[in-house]
Chain A
Amino acid sequence: MSALGELRHIRGSTRGSPRKRDNRAALVFLLPWFGGLFFITLGPVVASLVLGFTDYNLIQPPEFNGVDNFTRVLSDERLHQALRVTFTYVVVSVPVQLACALGLAMLLDRGMRGMAFYRSAFYLPSLLGSSVAIAVLWRQIFGADGLVNRLLAVVGIEGRGWISDPGTALSTLIVLNVWTFGAPMIIFLAGLRQIPVMYYEAAATDGASRWTQFWRITLPLLSPIIFFNLVLQIIHAFQSFTQAFVVSGGTGGPSDSTLFYTLYLYQRGFNSFDMGYASALAWLLLMIIAAFTAVNFWAAKYWVFYDD
């Protein structure tokens, strides 16, 4: 059904459609966006691309150095470490976070007593955002004297500084990320709310079990939102910066175990005055993310259902 729907959608625009194109209306609706693109976004974006081919220390004028920045990528061991960290993070944290967010959203969507309370409680940690207090707060949980270790001590296990051990630091950051699943959860909730009740009523009259309802109604109708969360969380995870920055004090430590791509890029650009290389790295990241996103959009044809 979904594949068909998508097919219909794609053909609609390529086949000599009887409908007239809405170019004029589109221009009106997109006017602010075009304005933003050309006046605000495009210049700096192109500038960063140009800077990617220069040696630029922020203080003196940039000097073109051809593709030096890009060949340097091949032998940059810390970059390779950053790529390893980032890929691990994306591959593990995105599915886990989305599953948690969807599960809780479903749970909280049922007209349960105290639902508003739980929703707020689960969302509250996400409100902390990147507040400066956050590093201190996480240490209260995962630090050497933190909550986790005190709970472990009860059962007789000796803990460690989870955030500051290179063996566990990245896993801890992944847990922290799951902790703040609030954003996708809210989006799921909003999506669930948009599914017309009549579908469920009709299904219930037909005697469909809850499980069947989930597979036949919820998942297909929620698929655009799941897709949205997936695409954005992947983009977001690739650019993950703040948590690692705050928790490691900007170093990506211990021992580069939380050296996220953007954190490394930031270090090159702002700490080492190496903005040309940082710009090249940024464009490399853009290409990686774009490739992932393109695959995502391609795969979406097979599982995302649009009613248009």
Chain B
Amino acid sequence: MRRLGAILLATALTAGLAACGGESDAGQELSDKPVTLRFTWWGSDARHQRTQQVIDLFQKEHPNITVKGEFKEWNGYWESLATTVAANDAPDIIQMDELYLASYAERGALLDLGTAAKHLKTADFDANALDTGKVDRKQYALPVGLAAYSIVVNADLLAQYGVPLPDDSAWTWDDLKRIGGEISKASGGKVTGVQSWGFNDAGGLNIWARQAGASLYDEKGNVTIPPAVLANYWTYLADMAKTGVAPPPSVTVERASAGLDQSGTATNASVFGTWWNTQLTSLTAASGKKLQLLKLPGEATAKSPGAYYKPSMFWSISSRSKHPAEAAVFVDFLANNEAAANVLLTDRGVPANNKIRTAITPKLAETDKAAVAYLDTLKVGAAPRVTPNGASNIEAILKRHTEEVLFGRATPEQAAAAFIKELQAEIDGA
């Protein structure tokens, strides 16, 4: 019995060890035999329904291909993906996030979509957009949607407290703080002017760095943000909390961890909040008030534009897929098919495919149209480098150091030094 256990163990381990098999050939002809593809994504029930409809459409066009959708929630998604990849049992088509792209691609888990060009067309995508899905100059992922960081303002509350809408073509970070302060004062603290950020994504930090002429990472994937820039960022956030422009830290942290529906913007407890422009529709649905998108402060005086297009998510194909050609056909359908786009609309962000974006815009809700318009009129710089392999934890690291500063457990300067050191160590360790 002991020996049997040992044998089982040995087979189990070697199966894991042999994980990196040969690259599949995505350029071959399509099979006319029955093929089953596994397709996995994260999201909420609304996305699951839309995606299933698209799968049904695809299967009608390709009767011999069955697509099995595997939907998960964000945290469970990454646990499950890591485990299945480790066991050489990954789904064929993978919804990928910018944070994890390099971690999977550099370790050979993803297919170079360039090899699938025969089945997967990318002509209707901007080169800039396509670049966001490249790692080491190979197209490991195709951007699905684009988003840009913005300030969401509650126009109804602004009117209620008699504060005029700021001119977002020229405003500065000091303006935001000042106007926010006026609101907090006018409401007697019931409503705060600004909802603090720096918790759930690195968008704010990226923009802050870019406006200062720096960037979070350099091309090689090392942390290059100057400590002083980082310290300024936290000084600004801490000031807002101290002066009552933003809620007290514990309230801020609580709302941040609770997700969109329970945020200050969604519950009408804060007037200004930083969000991705594509979240406007969700926020409006939750708040029931008139919300608007404003450009970020500081862009007019910035050394270089802070704004950039961030891919909301990507389509990737597992490098160990047994049916890479069919998987590529399916991704092509998701990315380029108008019928599919009509179902998905902006559920995964404003489509990165220009032709599709134009085609669906008339069918969008008002708030989604506003999101598209925001994206179209925004002056953006080149997208920052994809999150380096090993830094997929950056959001948690950023959140922790932001908390250290807000709760007065570290000065902005100490936090800056610690943050840079920790993030760099994660990258070096990968």
Contact = CB atoms under 8 A, between A and B. Distances in A.
A and B touch in the complex (CB under 8 A): yes
B19 A60 contact: yes
Contacts of B227: none
A256 interface: yes
A270 B79 contact: yes
Given A270-B78, A273-B82, A165 B407 contact: yes
Given A39-B8, A270-B82, A253 B253 contact: yes
A144 B107 CA distance: 43
B9 A42 contact: yes
Contacts of A139: 254, 258, 262
Given A58-B85, A58-B86, A59-B85, A163 B393 contact: no
B250 A42 contact: no
B396 interface: yes
A129 interface: no
Nearest to B80: A270
The winner among A46, A163, A254 for most chain B CB atoms within 10 A is A254
B107 A59 contact: yes
B1 interface: yes
B17 interface: yes
A171 B339 CA distance: 53
Nearest to B8: A43
Interface string B364-407: 00000000000000000000000000101100100110011001
B393 A271 contact: yes
A270 B82 CA distance: 7
A254 B407 contact: yes
B254 A43 contact: no
Interface stretch (A118-126, A202-210, A243-251): A243-251
A61 B18 contact: yes
A254 B253 contact: yes
A44 B10 CA distance: 10
Given A42-B5, A60-B20, A251 B254 contact: no
A211 to B, nearest CB: 44
Contact of A255 (B2, B409, B426, B430): B409
A162 B392 CA distance: 29
Given A59-B85, A59-B86, A251 B396 contact: yes
Contacts of B396: 250-251, 253, 267, 271
Nearest to B267: A145
Interface string A226-258: 000000000000000000000011110111100
Lowest 6 A-B CB distances belong to which pairs?
A161-B250, A164-B254, A164-B253, A43-B9, A161-B254, A59-B107
Nearest to A249: B257
Contact of A38 (B2, B18, B250, B252): B2
Contacts of B16: 61-62
Interface in B15-67: 16-20
Contacts of B429: 272, 274
Nearest to B12: A43
B328 interface: no
B160 interface: no
A253 B390 contact: no
B98 to A, nearest CB: 15
A191 interface: no
B409 A166 contact: yes
Given A58-B82, A166-B409, A271-B392, A39 B5 contact: yes
Nearest to A266: B79
A255 B404 contact: yes
Contact of B407 (A58, A132, A255): A255
B302 interface: no
Contacts of B409: 166, 255
A255 B199 CA distance: 11
B244 interface: no
11 contacts: A39-B4, A43-B8, A43-B12, A46-B9, A59-B82, A61-B18, A61-B19, A250-B75, A253-B403, A256-B400, A270-B82
A255 B8 contact: no
Contacts of B430: 57, 272-273
A182 interface: no
Interface in A144-190: 144, 160-167
Given A250-B396, A256-B400, 15 more contacts: A39-B4, A39-B8, A46-B9, A50-B13, A60-B107, A136-B262, A160-B250, A166-B407, A166-B409, A249-B257, A254-B403, A272-B392, A272-B426, A272-B430, A273-B390
B139 to A, nearest CB: 19
Contact of A267 (B19, B393, B403, B407): B393
